[in-house]
Chain A
Amino acid sequence: MSVPTDDELRRALVDAITTVAPDARGASIPGDVDVREHLELDSMDFLRVLVGLKERLGVDVPEADAPRLVTLDGAVAYLRARLAP
């Protein structure tokens, strides 16, 4: 299986986020903002986003790494590194 592109990672991420926050579907989310504040996600919502990422990409994010995923840009960079061959 080929490594997903940044665009594919971002799509998977946005999909995981909008599953938890359906009202954000279709809205553009800036890459450099904390999505928890931007979309009013609480810790339970954010945990569900991480669970969604595991389902979509197979990446299990340890608790200590979670702060690196609070922006789309940060999350894409993190996931790219984790999925690098």
Chain B
Amino acid sequence: MYDLIVIGAGPGGYEAAAHAGRLGMKTLLAEKEFIGGTCLNVGCIPTKTFLKSARLFSECRSAAAYGVEIAGAKWNQAAVVQRKNKVVSTLTRGVEALLKKNRVEVVRAAARLQSAGLVQVGDRRLEARNILIATGARPAVPPIPGIDSPSVLDSTAVLNLTEVPARVAVIGGGYIGLELAGFFFAAGAAVTVLEMLPRIASGSDADISSRLQQAFKKSGVTLKTSCKVTRIEGNRISCLDDQGAAFETEAECIVNATGRVPVVQDLGLEELGIDLDRKGIKVDERGRTSLPGVWACGDVTGRRQLAHAATREGLVAVNEMAGRRDRIRYEAIPSVIYTHPEVACVGWTEEELKAQGKEYKKALVPMAVAGRFLVENEGGSGVVKVLAGARYGEILGVHMLGDLSSEFIVAAAQMMEMEMRIADVEKVVFPHPTVSEALKLALLEIA
């Protein structure tokens, strides 16, 4: 009898399993494919290694602006893939070590629920007091005729390309599409992004997404918003623009980045009557599914498709199993888009606050107020936007565009998690010179 069987070894599952082990629970982790899940193998980490190479390459080309002349920089896709594999393998070993240290039994096999408390793992039937489903998500396949053409790759297949195509079309202007567009563009491809909604990064605050859109356009990426892809034939993509007029575009490589769908098949969920819909398994704020003893976390629940949200959800579920009251606060979970410039956000957007009828104050400060930003980003632009409650000054949202805002958004997330007010953060000292000083100045502008 196990205290916990976790299905899926992504950042939701493996962190939860390790935490359960740390709390002294007898834990088994079943994984049918990769330790580390999407994040480590075909998501966050590999794409970031690609983006690092792309950034370096574009910096070589713009190095003259910093007084460094570099001639003959060349892109070597095979070496880029090789480095990615090395990073992934190092991190996978790290995850394995973490699981071992916390006495988690890892089984490389598919798992299927037989009933509450009983799981088929490979050819074994195992009893467990708690079952945590953390099977994640996979790339969605939208109903576009020709989406199954060989020229169409999803975010996973892209990672194994042996060379950079001359022309790339990316379907979907969300964070996956934008990161891949940025990568291909920096690596030398001509890139077109086709987004169905009126703006790219549509979940972001409009002040941020509109500036990101400008930055993309300025860099030379072609953006088509309010654009519906109607058909794919070989390298040709047929689209309708916002006026309903048809147009075509061509690309050797077509990237399908239209979102991700939960992995809920072959788990025995329907047979057990566990509540689920198109977005995923339904859970409460503590991770409970409709079947007692069965929990779920991460992308399979369709709540926030972010690795760190999955991790937190997993920890909350394990804490609850162990009788430690816990819950997740989504408004304090930061998110990052690794474009150039980067987007880093936490909390409510201004549009969401307006829809809620919440009274707020705001500050919008250019990143260039921080000396370090100018030093690091020749010709770059960026902005920090802070939203705070009109009456109490509690921080409601922080939205940033600019490198390297991803590295200090955690400060804003902590302020929100602790429910600090602007008056409370005035005492926080930000190191000088850092880009984070732009955040400080934006906070002070509201005070």
Partners in one complex: no
By a beta-carbon cutoff of 8 Å, the part of chain A in contact with chain B is none
